[in-house]
Amino acid sequence: MSPLVYVDDQGRATREYPFNPNGSIHGLAGLCSEDGRHLAMMPHPERAFLAWQAHYLPQNMAELEVTPWMQMFQNAYSWCCR
C-alpha cells in the first residue's frame, strides 16, 4: 500500500523535482503494511517539526512555533506511554 505520494500543484502524483525530491516512480513517498501498523516513509518530518526549520510555510502558518509534523511525534510518544 502507498499511503503517501508526492504530488504537484494540481494534486497529481509526480516524479518531477521539486515536488518529488528523489524522483520516485508514481511519486511514492511511503509504503505501509496491509494492516496499517507499519509505515516506511521517505520524507523526513524530523527535519522540519519546528517552524524555523521549514523551507516553506503557507502564509496562514507563518506565526506557528511548531509545524503540523509535530503531531506525529506527539502521537508516537503518547502511544509509547500507554
Same domain assignment for residues 37 and 58: no
Which band of pLDDT confidence, cut at 50, 70 and 90, is reported for residue 1? Answer: confident
Q: Tell me how far apart the alpha carbons of residues 50 and 69 are, in angstroms, rounded to a whole number.
A: 8
Q: What's the mean pLDDT in 19-43? A: 92
Q: What is the pTM of this model?
A: 0.61
Q: Do 20 and 5 reside in the same domain of the chain? A: yes
Give the max Cα distance, the chain: 41
Residue 12 has pLDDT above 90, yes or no: yes
12 with 27, same domain?
yes
**What cell does 59 get?**
502564509
Q: Is the pLDDT of residue 9 over 90?
A: yes
Q: Give per-residue pLDDT as tens, 38-79.
A: 989 888 888 889 999 987 888 998 899 999 889 999 999 999
Q: Nine-digit cell at 43? A: 520524507
How many whole angstroms separate alpha carbon 68 and alpha carbon 43? Answer: 14
58 and 25 housed in the same domain = no
